[in-house]
Amino acid sequence: MNQDRNISRRWLLGAMLAGAAGPALGGTPVLAPRPFARFAEPALVPVQLAAPDAGALIEAARLGGQVTFAVADARTGQLLEAAGAEVPQPPASVAKAMTALYALDSLGGGYRFATRLVATGPVQGGVVAGDLVLVGGGDPTLSSDGLADMAAELRRLGVTGVAGRFLVFGGALPFVPAIDPAQPAHVGYNPAVSGLNLNYNQVHFEWRRAQGNWQLSLEARAERYRPSVGMTRMQVVQRQAPAFTFSSNGAYEDWTVATAALGNGGSRLLPVRRPEAYAAEVFHTLAAAQGVRLPQPQVTGAMPAGTVIMEHGSDELRVVLRDMLRWSTNLTAEAVGLASSVRRGVGAGSLAASARVMGEWAAPRFGLAGPRFVDHSGLGDASRITAIDMVRALARAGGEGQLRPILRNLPMRDASNNEIRNHPIRVAAKTGTLNFVSGLGGYATGPGGRELVFAIFAADVARRERLSQAERESPAGAREWTQRARRLQQQLIERWAAIYA
């Protein structure tokens, strides 16, 4: 066991009884995210140490690979305990916490994404004398419901048709065909990214078997509207594997699904690879339902000059980021990250370039040693950050009040994974999960009221690298591994609360 993991009961007892404010590990640098006022040492009280050794907890979890962590006092930035804290690890979706900070700093919490309708000519007798252009502003939360509202408003403005073309423009952000090319083609959490996104660039595929036949539907499903989608096509094929195949000829996105993967019925979200065409088809359908006749849509790479006749805004960025952190939506992370780089005017030519700029921003901003990001969502497993760097960023962000209010409150759970109500430890954090990678970073408040900031990263990179692309959706042993990793995370937090909080 490494020395930094083997923190003895005798050392902890001595440090606590002495009211020690120094770092838990000799020679470990003290975090200094901002100046702090001096505070009095705590009064000496009897100490009950029931907390298990951190190294023993890690060993019992049987995760393989490497487990690293760091925990500090959230108010002073004082490092309290660490294990392998300077070893770079894949953060998975914990990277979204950094993306949220990057977006807040670049765009501001009140920023709203805007989707617009632009007319290149005047409206005469209910007809646009020119082209009508659906212009994306990078909104990752635009849904079919939002497009339906735009179509209804267009009709209320008296528009019933277009003399010219119906164009769609998604050039506000760089086009990314898939967030992580190493993922299986059919997973809905790995869609394309564009300046014009719809329904998180996912199409709802549903099937059921009736009288020996398969009834299939493909929809742009939202809360109020669920128009059918024609650009995505599905064919059922008699085979065992693979479950899905994908191809595209430019006009259609064609899928096949194996009969062995269907059962008697079900549904799933499939990724969209041509977001502008997807949004254009859906708006065309919704406009027709309002009595607005549009030509067949055309995607354009150049934004025509014209007059904005309508604008649909997203929620404020704070709300968008709160939902991103709660539901861990990859498309939102990539869109807000790219939009942040575009706003800064640097590094937005590709997803990797934008992520690199985010890392270069974070290093001086939070005093980090040098994180490396390949995207903004954490889906790509080549991203790396150390536990100590994550804690530095969280400590500074916590002091500035930026991140904690939008993080999800995570309940503590019992051995059966049931939520423990009224648990004395309160946790607000971002989780991160890939196959054989698990991370958690955030804040924990113990019964004494002391707030801790922490980051925990576990990764068996070698085991993950042995997976084929087809195995990456649900490999054998991954679910159980993740359950053990999450249990270890809670055990470490409970240990820290017992000792430090």
Q: Where are the domains of the chain?
A: 52-108+317-500, 113-314
Distance CA(178)–CA(325), nearest Å, equals 21
- E-strand spans in 211-306? 213-219, 232-237, 244-248, 253-258, 265-271, 298-300
Q: To the nearest whole number, what is the mean pLDDT of the chain?
A: 90
User: Position of tokens 């995570």?
Assistant: 410
Say yes or no to pLDDT of 41 above 90.
no
Beta bridge partners of 378: none
Say yes or no to pLDDT of 51 above 70.
yes
Classified as helix, coil or strand, 458 is strand
Distance CA(6)–CA(52), nearest Å, equals 11
User: Position of tokens 């050794």?
Assistant: 53
User: Position of tokens 């003895």?
Assistant: 8
pLDDT confidence band for 346 (50 / 70 / 90): confident
pLDDT: which is higher, 351 or 469:
351
Distance CA(475)–CA(463), nearest Å, equals 11
CATH class assigned to 52-108+317-500: alpha beta
pLDDT of residue 473: 87
What are the backbone angles phi and psi of residue 183, rounded to the nearest 5°? Answer: -80, 160
pLDDT in tens, 347-400: 778 999 999 999 999 999 999 998 999 999 999 999 999 999 999 999 999 888
pLDDT confidence band for 50 (50 / 70 / 90): low
Mean pLDDT, rounded, for 261-285? 96
Classified as helix, coil or strand, 306 is coil
Other beta carbons within 10 Å of 179: 25
Secondary-structure percent of the chain, ordered helix, strand, coil, rounded to 5: 30, 25, 45
Q: Given 3.50.80.20, 3.40.50.720, 3.50.30.30, 3.40.50.300, which CATH number is that of 113-314?
A: 3.50.80.20
pLDDT of residue 77: 92
